[in-house]
Amino acid sequence: MNKDSPIYVAGHRGLVGSAIVRCLHARGYKNILIKSSSELDLLNQQAVEIFFRMEKPEYVFLAAAKVGGILANLTYPADFIYQNLMIGVNVIHAAHRHGVKKLLNLGSTCIYPRLVAQPMKESYLLMSELEPSNEAYAIAKISIIKMCSYYNRQFGRNFVSVMPTNQYGENDNFNMETAHALPMLLRRFHLAKLIRNNDFDAIREDLEKYPIGWGLHSNQVVSNSNDALEQILNQLGVYRDKVVVWGDGSVYREFMNSDDLADACVYLMQHKNYEDIGEFVNITSGTDILLKDLFDLLKNIIEFFGDIEYDTSKPNGTPRKLPDATKIRSLGWMPKIPLEDGVRKFYQWYCSRGKT
C-alpha cells in the first residue's frame, strides 16, 4: 500500500471506520476515499458499482454495517440479516469486478457458537449452534467471511477478514438504549456524578449532545425542572447515590480501544495477505476483565463515588467470551493501549466532544 494509493474506508463515520481513517492519516496515507451512507448507500448495488468504477479504490476496509445491542438484534433480525448481507455482497462483488488489490472485512466475535470452549480459536467457527439472540447478524457476518474466502479460491483475490473483540473509543454510540457495555456504563456513571454534584446544566448539555433512547427526545427532556429531570434519570437506573447495572458483575469480558483495532487492521493490510492470515483472524489482547473490576475502574476514572446496584433479575450473559490471541500474535501484532489508559482517554474525549 503506497502513501498515495486510493483506499476506501466504508463506514468512516462509525466507531471502527473513524479509527481506521485516523490511523491511515497518522501513517501518512493521503488518498482516503470516504462516503457517508447518505452519499453512497451500500445497500444499492448499482450505486456501489458506479462508485467502484469511478473512484477505482485499490484497498478497501469494510467497516460499514448495521450494528446494535441485544435488544435491537432481537427486535429487528430481518434488518440485521438483510442490511449486513447486502452491504457485504455489494462491496465484495464490486471489489472483485474492479480489481481491488486487497480488502479487509470487519466481522465480529458473535460468529462463534454459543457454547464454545474458551478462549475461542478461529477453528471453532460453525462447530455448533449460534447464540439465538443475534443469529441473524452472525449468519450475515459468517456469509460474508465465507464470500471473501470463495472469491479468493475461485478468482485468486486477496480478501481477508478480522474478528475483533468488544470495542470502545471515539465516535462510539452512547444511546442509553442501544449502546454497548463500556460506553453505556461510562455515560451512566458520568450522569450519576453530575446529579450528585447538582450540576444540572452539565446534565442538560450531555442529554443534548448524545441521544437518550427509550423514546425520549432530548429537547423535551431537558426542558423539565431539575427534580423532574432527576426522576427521568432515576427511571433509567441513574441516581445521585447509585447506578443500577444488569446482572451481578461476575462475568468476564474483553474491551479494546478502537485505535488498537485500527492499528491491527492497517498492519494486516500493509504486511499480511490471505496466504498468511487464512480465512480470518481474531483481533484480541487475549486478556479480559471481571465486570465488577471494570465498574471500579470506571468509577475511579469518572470520580463517581456512589454505589453500584446489581439488578440480578437481568441476565449476566455467558460467563466468559474471550477470543484466542495465538494467531494474531503469530502474525506479529499486539495491542498497545492498556485498558485503564484507553478508558481515561475515552472519558476525556467524551467530556470534551463538541466544545471545540
Ligand X SMILES: NC(=O)c1ccc[n+]([C@@H]2O[C@H](COP(=O)([O-])OP(=O)(O)OC[C@H]3O[C@@H](n4cnc5c(N)ncnc54)[C@H](OP(=O)(O)O)[C@@H]3O)[C@@H](O)[C@H]2O)c1
Positions in the binding site for ligand X (CB under 6 A): 11, 13-17, 36-37, 41-43, 63-67, 87, 106, 108, 164, 166-167, 180
**Cβ at position 86, least distance to ligand X in Å:** 8
Radius of gyration of the chain from its Cα atoms, rounded to whole angstroms: 21
Q: Are 166 and 254 in contact (CB under 8 A)?
A: yes
Looking at beta carbons only, is 39 or 227 nearer to ligand X?
39
Residue of closest CB approach to ligand X? 14
Q: Are 62 and 17 in contact (CB under 8 A)?
A: no
Tell me how far apart the alpha carbons of residues 281 and 276 are, in angstroms, rounded to a whole number: 10
**Cβ–Cβ contacts within 10 Å for residue 203, how many?**
23
**Cβ at position 224, least distance to ligand X in Å:** 30
**Cβ at position 233, least distance to ligand X in Å:** 25
**Cβ at position 247, least distance to ligand X in Å:** 19
Q: Does residue 137 carry a catalytic annotation?
A: yes
Looking at beta carbons only, is 72 or 195 nearer to ligand X?
72
Looking at beta carbons only, is 17 or 57 nearer to ligand X?
17
Looking at beta carbons only, is 181 or 331 nearer to ligand X?
181
Long-range contacts formed by 234-241: CB under 8 A, 24+ apart? 236/176, 236/188, 236/212, 237/188, 237/309, 237/311, 238/188, 238/191, 238/192, 238/195, 239/192, 239/195, 239/306, 240/192, 240/195, 240/196, 240/306, 241/196, 241/306, 241/307
**Cβ at position 207, least distance to ligand X in Å:** 20
**Cβ–Cβ contacts within 10 Å for residue 25, how many?**
11
**Cβ at position 266, least distance to ligand X in Å:** 14
Of 137, 151, 252, 350, the active-site residue reads 137
Looking at beta carbons only, is 206 or 254 nearer to ligand X?
254
Looking at beta carbons only, is 120 or 194 nearer to ligand X?
120
71-97 burial string, b = 16+ CB within 10 Å, else e?
Answer: ebbeebbeebbebbbbbbbbbbbbbbe
**Cβ at position 19, least distance to ligand X in Å:** 8
Angle between helices 15-26 and 258-271 (to 10 degrees): 60
Looking at beta carbons only, is 81 or 233 nearer to ligand X?
81
Say if strands 242-246 and 252-253 run parallel, antiparallel, or are unpaired. Answer: unpaired
Which residues does the annotation mark as catalytic?
Answer: 137
